[in-house]
């Protein structure tokens, strides 16, 4: 039983089409969502968050359809995107104060813990943060309300190697606490470090959705690294 399920999700833009996207997320596992720029990762994630209006398909979380249970589902979700700056001229403290009033499950202890871990100063404004620190600020909000599922759109982009390492370790710790994580990335070494499962998207279509071991077995050739597999698959898809 998947904790998150997408079935035949379609979305057409003038120059791009998301075609029958179907995959599921296993509870308590880390799933890496990989694809090149423009492959459809962000469109898929936006569909999962009801930020875009899909043409057709079904999306469910915890066995509940997203449509009709949006507020209830989002209570149990955490989302973070790369470097988007929310309220650039408000302080972190002000943004967190307002955000916490939406979550009965807000965990002040976790908020303080991640604030220290990410070395964020509450009196700073997003406009004063570096790109990497903006990612950490977004993650701070996503991690502070005991989310059962974390959907992270390129959370490691813009981070220095030390912060990336800390973050990937944090993903593993969260997984040990039963949190389900979907993170999109185009950094293949991030997947090798912590992903249990892989969802691979190319040209708006899901090419693979399976465990890392199955993916290596089914798609890989002897002696190929994960990076080499993806590069070959992309070249084949474009040929």
Site residues (vs other proteins, CB under 8 A): 46, 49-53, 70-72, 74-75, 77, 79, 84-90, 94-95, 97-99, 101-103
Q: Give the other-Cβ count within 10 Å of 77's Cβ.
A: 19
Residue 94: CB minimum distance to other proteins, A: 6
Cα–Cα distance measured from residue 31 to residue 80, given in angstroms and rounded to the nearest whole number: 15
Answer whether 30's CB lies under 8 Å from 197's CB.
Answer: yes
Place of tokens 């089914």: 218
Q: Name the nearest CA neighbour of 114 among 130, 89, 150, 138.
A: 138
* Closer by beta carbon to other proteins, 41 or else 207: 41
Residue 72: CB minimum distance to other proteins, A: 8
Query: What totals of helices (H) and strands (E) does the chain contain, helices first?
Result: 9, 10
* Closer by beta carbon to other proteins, 77 or else 188: 77
* Closer by beta carbon to other proteins, 72 or else 169: 72
Residue 210: CB minimum distance to other proteins, A: 29
* Closer by beta carbon to other proteins, 51 or else 237: 51
Cα–Cα distance measured from residue 113 to residue 100, given in angstroms and rounded to the nearest whole number: 15
């Amino acid at each position: 039983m998947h904790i998150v399920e997408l079935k035949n999700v379609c979305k057409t833009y003038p120059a791009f089409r998301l075609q029958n996207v179907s995959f599921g997320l296993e509870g308590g596992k880390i799933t890496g969502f990989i694809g090149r720029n423009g492959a459809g990762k962000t469109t898929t994630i936006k569909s999962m968050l009801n930020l875009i209006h899909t043409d057709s398909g079904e999306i469910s979380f915890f066995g509940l359809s997203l449509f009709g249970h949006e507020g209830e589902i989002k209570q149990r979700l955490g989302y973070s995107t790369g470097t988007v700056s929310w309220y650039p001229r408000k302080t972190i403290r002000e943004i967190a104060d307002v955000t916490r009033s939406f979550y009965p499950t807000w965990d002040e202890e976790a908020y303080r813990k991640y604030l220290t871990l990410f070395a964020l100063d509450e009196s700073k404004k997003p406009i004063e943060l570096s790109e990497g620190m903006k990612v950490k600020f977004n993650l701070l909000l996503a991690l502070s309300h005991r989310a059962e599922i974390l959907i992270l759109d390129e959370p490691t982009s813009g981070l220095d190697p030390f912060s990336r390492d800390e973050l990937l370790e944090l993903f593993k710790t969260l997984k040990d606490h039963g949190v389900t994580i979907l993170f999109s990335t185009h950094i293949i070494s991030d997947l090798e470090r912590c992903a249990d499962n892989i969802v691979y998207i190319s040209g708006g279509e899901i090419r693979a959705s399976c465990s890392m071991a199955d993916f290596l077995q089914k798609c890989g050739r002897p002696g190929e690294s994960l990076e080499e597999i993806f590069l070959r698959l992309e070249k084949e898809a474009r040929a």
